[in-house]
């Protein structure tokens, strides 16, 4: 038997993946096994290291995937096999998270463990609905109560008379199914029937929904709206602050979850902009860029051997820039060898990438075709000039052809290869099946073809149909054409082939959705 590993009992936060703590994230990134439940954001699983075992033990209202005793033993067994284990629990593990039982059995088996606190849904979910659970003028105390027990157990475990007379805010966790009984007991023990109540479903997530009522009418409103769990119940005068303080629903991309298919090394800019505007992202990189294979490497070394010969260098992507400089470093070359060459960048992102290396490139518009090229450099592209075209292995060949037809000598140098990733993701399949992906972002033709291939590889019989319920959003006309040819219905095509332009298109799409759903 291997030596005992270690277990981290980690609070995943209330739902928004960004609300996990830094320490919790560090634990995830080093775990050999992740044991997670229904309330932990599935996108957090993408932060686990490659090859980590992922075990779902979630519970729903009417079905338990695994009994608590079995979960306790599972943690012991995984640790005794020598693994670093993360038990990922929604909210904070010490607030109705049964962490005492799990830690207790670990202690019995002398297995080292740590409890990593998380942001509890009891305060974060109301905050995302614009409800501060304490307020200097109206709520100076807070009570957090489980509503998960049966009605009889609730009455045995809760002193309703004392609870009702407590000042401030009452927060019931997982009590939606008992909302009628909870309201009746509070009224019967002295709370006014007109006391405001807020129900917040899937707070901090894209599915967040809020239902406002009073103790007197909230049960009828739940039935009429078919409001479902999981939901946090907030009772008290603090609820009235919502109309003044609500903020999440007012963000441009609130309520939408975006599938980001870009390579993980490049996804951060798109993810950041979406999340800053209130959207939720789920990353499933379907491509990655790598150094070329030995055959390409040999050819590239030859292409870069005599840099002084080139009159022009064209960069068509940020990746082309980054890998070009990797090759220079690998070959011991000096960028000053290009002192006589004119350097052109396709689009502002590529130009900015060159600027970071101290090169002020001439910019071509990101959507340019042959006409745009000649409009920019018509009288300067001369027959006989030598051009270095730094590109990826899947880049379109038309630019080289246009330059060659003009009489220029083009060296078409492959700086990097774009390859499909091999990861599978059961959580993504669940989200697609449940309609949990509202939009899919594509930043290149290869992301389109590779996502469809990945879904097929994961057993989806009709990948195009699996994406039919999501808006297809493309960074430019070439990517949109590839998506359309594959059978996808394109909803957004960025005016410029840039991330900011794509995000602008996403906001316009979401605004149109909001108007349609009113």
Which of the residues are catalytic?
A: 37, 59, 174
Task: Give me the DSSP letters along 271-290.
Answer: HHHHHHTT-EEEE---EEEE
Tokens representing 398 are 């038309």
> SS in 3 state form for 363-428?
EECCCCCHHHHHHHHCCCCCCCCEEEEEEECCCCCHHHHHHHHCCCEEEEEEEEEEEECCCCCHHH
- The rounded Cα 511 to chain-centroid distance in angstroms is 21
What distance in Å separates the CA atoms of residue 300 and residue 187, rounded to the nearest whole number?
78
Q: Which residues pair with 201 in a beta bridge?
A: 209, 231
* Residue 350, helix vs strand vs coil: helix
Using an 8 Å Cβ cutoff, are 363 and 347 in contact? Answer: yes
500 Cβ partners below 8 Å, 6+ apart?
273
Using an 8 Å Cβ cutoff, are 188 and 160 in contact? Answer: yes
Helices 294-303 + 318-331 axis angle, to 10? 80
What distance in Å separates the CA atoms of residue 398 and residue 390, rounded to the nearest whole number?
14
Beta pairing class for 342-346 and 142-146: unpaired
Tokens representing 403 are 């330059």
* Residue 140, helix vs strand vs coil: coil
Closest to 234 measured CA to CA, from 154, 122, 96? 122
Q: Which residues pair with 8 in a beta bridge?
A: 86, 114
Residue with tokens 């999440």: 248
What distance in Å separates the CA atoms of residue 214 and residue 193, rounded to the nearest whole number?
7
Strands across the sheet containing 280-283: 280-283, 257-260, 439-442, 471-474, 490-493
Using an 8 Å Cβ cutoff, are 210 and 202 in contact? Answer: no
* Residue 224, helix vs strand vs coil: helix
What distance in Å separates the CA atoms of residue 83 and residue 49, rounded to the nearest whole number?
13
* Residue 235, helix vs strand vs coil: strand
Closest to 5 measured CA to CA, from 106, 115, 82, 63? 82
């Amino acid at each position: 038997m291997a030596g005992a590993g270690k277990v981290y009992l980690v609070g995943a936060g209330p739902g928004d993946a960004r609300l996990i703590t830094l320490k919790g994230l560090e634990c995830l990134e080093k775990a050999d096994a992740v044991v997670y439940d229904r309330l932990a954001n599935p996108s957090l699983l993408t932060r686990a290291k490659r090859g980590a075992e992922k075990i779902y033990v979630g519970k729903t209202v009417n079905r338990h995937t695994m009994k608590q005793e079995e979960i306790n033993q599972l943690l012991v067994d995984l640790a005794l096999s020598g693994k670093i284990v993360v038990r990922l629990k929604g909210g904070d593990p010490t607030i109705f998270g049964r962490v005492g039982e799990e830690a207790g059995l670990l202690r019995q088996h002398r297995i080292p463990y740590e409890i990593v606190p998380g942001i509890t849904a009891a305060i974060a979910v109301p905050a995302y609905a614009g409800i501060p659970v304490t307020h200097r003028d109206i709520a100076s105390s807070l009570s957090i109560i489980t509503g998960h027990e049966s009605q009889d157990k609730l009455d045995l475990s809760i002193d309703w008379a004392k609870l009702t007379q407590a000042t401030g805010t009452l927060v019931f966790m997982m009590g939606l199914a008992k909302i009628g009984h909870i309201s009746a007991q509070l009224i019967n023990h002295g709370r006014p029937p007109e006391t405001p109540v807020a129900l917040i479903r899937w707070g901090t997530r894209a599915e967040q929904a809020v239902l406002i009522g009073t103790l007197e009418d909230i049960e009828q409103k739940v039935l009429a709206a078919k409001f479902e769990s999981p939901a946090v119940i907030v009772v008290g005068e603090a609820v009235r602050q919502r109309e003044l303080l609500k903020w999440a629903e007012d963000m441009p991309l609130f309520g939408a979850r975006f599938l980001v298919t870009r390579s993980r090394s490049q996804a951060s800019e798109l993810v950041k902009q979406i999340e800053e505007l209130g959207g939720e992202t789920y990353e499933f990189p379907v491509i990655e860029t790598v150094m070329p294979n030995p055959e390409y490497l040999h050819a590239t070394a030859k292409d870069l051997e005599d840099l002084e010969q080139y009159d022009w260098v064209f960069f068509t992507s940020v990746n082309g820039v980054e890998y070009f400089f990797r090759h220079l470093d690998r070959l011991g070359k000096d960028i000053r060898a290009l002192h006589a060459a004119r350097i052109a960048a396709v689009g502002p992102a590529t130009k900015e990438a060159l600027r970071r290396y101290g090169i002020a490139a001439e910019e071509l518009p990101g959507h340019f075709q042959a006409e745009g090229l000649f409009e920019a450099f018509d009288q300067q592209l001369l027959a006989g000039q030598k051009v270095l075209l730094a590109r990826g292995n899947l880049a379109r060949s038309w630019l080289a052809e246009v330059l060659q037809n003009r009489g220029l000598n083009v060296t078409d140098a492959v700086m990097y290869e774009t390859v499909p990733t091999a990861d599978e993701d059961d959580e993504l399949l669940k989200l697609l099946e449940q309609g949990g992906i509202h939009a899919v972002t594509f930043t290149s033709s290869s992301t389109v073809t590779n996502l469809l291939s990945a879904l097929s590889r994961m057993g989806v019989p009709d990948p195009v149909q699996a994406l039919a319920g999501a808006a297809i959003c493309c960074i430019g006309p070439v990517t949109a054409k590839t998506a359309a040819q594959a059978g996808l219905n394109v909803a957004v095509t960025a005016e410029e082939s840039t991330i900011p332009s794509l995000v602008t298109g996403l906001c316009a799409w979401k605004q149109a959705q909001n108007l349609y759903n009113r």
